[in-house]
A = this chain, B = another copy of it.
Amino acid sequence: MTLKEFLIERQRQVDAALDRLTPPEIEHPATIHRAMRHSLFAGGKRIRPILCMSAATAVTGVQEDSDAVIHAACSLEMIHTYSLIHDDLPALDNDDFRRGKPTCHKVYGEAMAILAGDALFTLAIQTLTTIQFAEPGRVVSLIRELSFASGTVDGMIGGQVTDIEGERQHPTAELLDSIHRAKTGALLRASVRMGGIAAGGDAQQIEALSNYGEHVGLAFQIVDDILDVEESSEALGKTAGKDAAQGKITFPAVYGLERSREMASEQCRLAHESLSSFGEGAQRLHEIADLIVQRKS
């Protein structure tokens, strides 16, 4: 199976599971479920769930699509989507479009978008609590990973706050690093760690996956910043060049485009290196690292 075929198959699997795990549109109160589904099924590439499933496969050597792994994978996409809905709100980034579609608050209004974000967060936790492991301690580990990666201290919310407060500040390498490690890095790192935990990986394997996640996460963010500068609004499906217009701190702003590209490649190399103790089961993680650096959108 080519990587492209693999990704499409995994996306379908994740989409089907998300559909199963999210209350249907007709469930009372219907508006909130429509708003949640609007953003959850707005064409996301499911990078975090696929990283989670691929990390599980790296640990066991066989394709991992047990309920436990799928639930962990879906919880990550729910958290990611909740963060996008809140980030897009007028009080935050004020984005009207995301992945080429109108954002949640443009369609359902601000009140419903705030609650839809809250609800997807809640659903992510609910989803993890319904996993049936022989050892319930593993469920607690998964919830611990997800909640700390989403939090204020070195987590997603903390990164978002630092990002907001960093606007119009002098862009330094330290500030940039601290924002991205938290804002996008923590959840990408949690994605592979959670896959490893759900598949029963040992401490050494989880540590190796952590390192992979950190490098891939940093590469991902560097490429995201480069694309924001390079791509036209149409191709990216969101308002491009917006980072610069908002005075956001980005890798190209601190290091320039050329050096940023070199840094992305270096992080990719380190990601590959982190996987050295895994066998063939890690093939997809290797391929995904390359894809993240080479992507055009």
A interface list, Cβ under 8 A from B: 23, 27-29, 31-33, 36, 82, 86, 89, 91-92, 109-112, 114-115, 117-119, 121-123, 125-126, 128-130, 135-137, 139-140, 143-144, 147-148, 150-153, 155, 157-158, 160-162, 164-165, 178
B119 A118 Cβ-Cβ under 8 A: no
- Can you sample 16 A-B contacts with CB below 8 Å? A27-B152, A28-B178, A29-B158, A33-B152, A89-B114, A111-B164, A112-B161, A114-B114, A119-B151, A126-B144, A128-B143, A129-B143, A129-B144, A135-B136, A136-B139, A140-B140
A140 B151 Cβ-Cβ under 8 A: no
Q: How many whole Å from A114's CB to the nearest CB in chain B?
A: 6
Which of B140, B157, B178 is in CB contact (< 8 Å) with A136? Answer: B140
Query: Of all chain B residues, which has the CB nearest A154?
Result: B28
A23 B111 Cβ-Cβ under 8 A: no
Q: How many whole Å from A223's CB to the nearest CB in chain B?
A: 25
A122 B158 Cβ-Cβ under 8 A: no
Which of B31, B114, B126, B157 is in CB contact (< 8 Å) with A165? Answer: B31
